[in-house]
Amino acid sequence: MQILDGKKLSQKITERIAKESAELKSKHGITPGLAVILVGDDPASHTYVKMKAKACKKVGFYSIVHEMPESITQEKIEETIILMNKNPNIDGILVQLPLPQHIDTTKILELIDPAKDVDGFHPYNFGRLMQGLDTFAPCTPLGVMELLKEYNIDPKGMDACVVGASNIVGKPMAALLLNTFATVDICHIYTKDLQSHTKRADLLVVGVGKPNLITADMVKDGAIVVDIGINRLEDGSLVGDVDFENVSKKASYITPVPGGVGPMTIAMLLQNTLKAAKKRIQA
């Protein structure tokens, strides 16, 4: 069994991005800019945004956070996005999810300029992803693909099972794997006999937010297991969706939680923002 070390790879990618960012500034006078909209007081959201801001600073990006109260109106958020769409110094716009229930999240995400949609959530970018065209792919699934690539794991021809069908992780993950010519099985909360699907998989990717959902008897010997889930237990410890201790005894490769996919998500956000900034040269 070999660990898929996302922390180590994310550091390697971050160092590369920092160099490219410095070159972009010295040669073209461009500093990649990321703007974040943060609504409400959710502790997890605030933590994620702080991590993203810290990562931006580390690689020499300009970043700004628009903090808004829980009671903010739909119109006020839309006004802010429109201003950021027009701002030539902002290359990427990120809306920290989830938004309050009174906000139409779909409408907010669709308002973002697809050329600045570094989260890859806009229907335009998702459509291009489904067609295998160049686009901004969502950061977490993209991070998984980079992790597989780093360890010379080619999903082509593999039986892949994705557990979780969200627009943020599951669906784009399945699309990226399909684009590599893996045979993809997508499971979700209404899937009957989940084990019958996971047991066949050469590559099992799980991201639903349920601790220890995947147990050793649900995984075939030698499978590659990627755990996207991150759950905080009552004792404060972080675990994934996979029973790591027992599943790791059967897997050929497996991601740890923490230190697996998590660090890759932020690295891919930086990579997408740099990609957007480089398009300013061509404009």
Whether residues 54 and 108 share a domain: the answer is: yes
Q: Are 51 and 162 members of one domain?
A: no
Q: Is residue 271 part of a domain?
A: no
Residue 64 inside a domain? The answer is yes
Co-location of 157 and 236 in the same domain = yes
DSSP 186: E
Is residue 273 assigned to a domain?
Answer: no
**Same-domain status, 198 and 107:** no
Would 233 be classed as within a structural domain? yes
The beta-strand segments (E) located in 80-223 are 92-95, 159-163, 183-187, 203-206
In a domain, 269, yes or no: no
Asked whether residue 149 falls in the same domain as residue 246, the answer is yes
Token pair 């027992």 is found at: 246
| CA atoms of 54 and 56, how far apart (whole Å) | 5
Question: Are 166 and 62 within one domain?
Answer: no
Instruction: Please give the Cα distance from 12 to 18 (Å, whole number).
Output: 10
Do residues 97 and 39 both lie within one domain?
yes
Last residue of a domain, one of 53, 86, 120: 120
**Would 102 be classed as within a structural domain?**
yes
Measured in whole angstroms, how far is the alpha carbon of residue 178 from the centre of its chain? 17
Q: How far is CA 7 from CA 38, 81, 247, in A?
A: 25, 32, 21
Q: Which residues are catalytic?
A: 52, 96, 119
Query: Any residues with CB less than 8 A from the CB of 255 and at least 6 apart, and which?
Result: 3, 4, 6, 147, 225, 226, 227, 240, 261
pLDDT tens per residue across all 283 residues of the chain: 999 999 999 999 999 999 999 999 999 999 999 999 999 988 888 888 999 999 999 999 999 999 999 999 999 999 999 999 999 999 999 999 999 999 999 999 999 999 999 999 999 999 999 999 999 999 999 999 999 999 999 999 999 999 999 999 999 999 999 999 999 999 999 999 999 999 999 999 999 999 999 999 999 999 999 999 988 888 888 899 999 999 999 999 999 999 999 999 999 999 999 999 999 887 6
Report the SS3 class of residue 15.
helix
Per the structure, the complete domain to which residue 224 belongs is given by 139-262
Mark whether 50 and 95 lie in a shared domain.
yes
Instruction: Provide the domain count of the chain.
Output: 2
HSE (side-chain half, CA atoms, 13 Å) at 256: 10
**pLDDT score, position 235:** 87
Domain at 37, CATH number: 3.40.50.10860
| CATH code of the domain containing 203 | 3.40.50.720
* Same domain flag for 78 and 170: no
Tell me, what's the pLDDT at 283? 66
Question: How is 80-104 classified by DSSP, letter by letter?
Answer: HHHHHHH-TT--EEEEPSPPPTTS-
Whether residue 258 sits in one domain with residue 146: yes
Boundary (domain end) residue, out of 120, 151, 179: 120
